[in-house]
Amino acid sequence: MVDGQLKVLLRRLEDSDIVLRRDCQDAIKEMQLSAQEISDSAIPYIAKNAPAYFQKIGAILNKGFWEIDMPSRDLDPALVVPSRGEGEAMHEEDSDNCLAEFFGTGPHTTVPCTISDHCWRLMTQPGYQAYSLSHQVFYLEIGKQFGCGAQMTEKAVQNRQQPPDALAGAFCANMLAEAKRVADADYPVNKQDLFMEQAALCGMLGYRQFFTAEWLDTILSWQDHSGCYVIQPGEFGLARVGNSKFKRSRVKREEKSLENGCLCHRTTVAGGAVALYIRYIIEYLMSPLAAGK
């Protein structure tokens, strides 16, 4: 994701009137190349150590997959809907199986873009929260990027829904409301990973309300001296789920801690969020047209 979004930024800089110091542009290029190197080296590791996962949804690691290029835009707060219940609404395996339908690697189909009614309803049901909600946006982004847009639109029509892009916008409006609640609660440690994931996923779709100076300062303050994101003081568990009429299971990818304490998932989503902040600051705030936006 970081590699893809920084590539988009570099292309935009070439085609725009934005004036950026050469050393800043060189630093962005260096970050992009570092992210690309890390991504390239991680692929064979994942293929070897998580073969079932890699076979199922490894296509999301393909080069160029996350070069989503959307213009900066606003969310409509009127799209926020009440939550259907506390906690998570789906198992991690359910989410992976539904993603695998796009790639033709699911348990019930070998034909890409064959979307079951079960998965479409699960992944587009309004009223989810937390990781279940963020994975709905993830699902719609992946389906579109892989080339299943026509089949997704057909499912939306069959279910009398708005087009997939509008569904993603509605989900991001609810994610923004949730992010604001996290900020208002002074960023509880067990919500930090989710908070950064929300900015990364909806930021890729161009929704600029996820980017504020306060939120960026806060995200950067969670880094340790190495730049990693680690378990915070007072954080006793990574999988807290409250009482819920939903199944008590996370949809977030299982967290892994390296020898130096660096948390893989948290550091990854933080990198994605920061990359989107860089895009927003340069493309929107530094654009000659910013004053008129």
Distance CA 70, CA 27 (A): 23
User: 231 — phi, psi (to 5°)?
Assistant: -60, 130
pLDDT band at 290 (very low <50, low <70, confident <90, very high): low
Residue that has been written with the tokens 């600051």 in this structure = 281
Residue 224, both tokens: 């340790």
Q: If 0-12 CB within 10 Å is exposed, 13-18 middle and 19+ buried, where does residue 258 land?
A: exposed
Percent of the chain beyond pLDDT 90?
73
Percent of the chain with pLDDT over 70: 91
Of residues 8 and 250, which shows the higher confidence score?
8
Distance between CA atoms of 217 and 244, rounded to whole angstroms? 33
In whole angstroms, what is the distance from residue 270 CA to residue 248 CA? 25
In this prediction, residue 231 carries a pLDDT of 85
The pLDDT tens digits for 243-264 are: 333 333 344 556 788 777 889 8
pLDDT digits 0-9 by tens, 264-284: 889 999 999 999 999 999 998
* Average pLDDT for 69-93: 89
Domain residue ranges of the chain, discontinuous segments joined by +? 70-273
Tokens representing residue 14 in the block: 């070439």
Q: Rounded to an integer, what distance in angstroms lies between the CA atom of residue 194 and that of residue 204? A: 15
pLDDT value for 289: 54
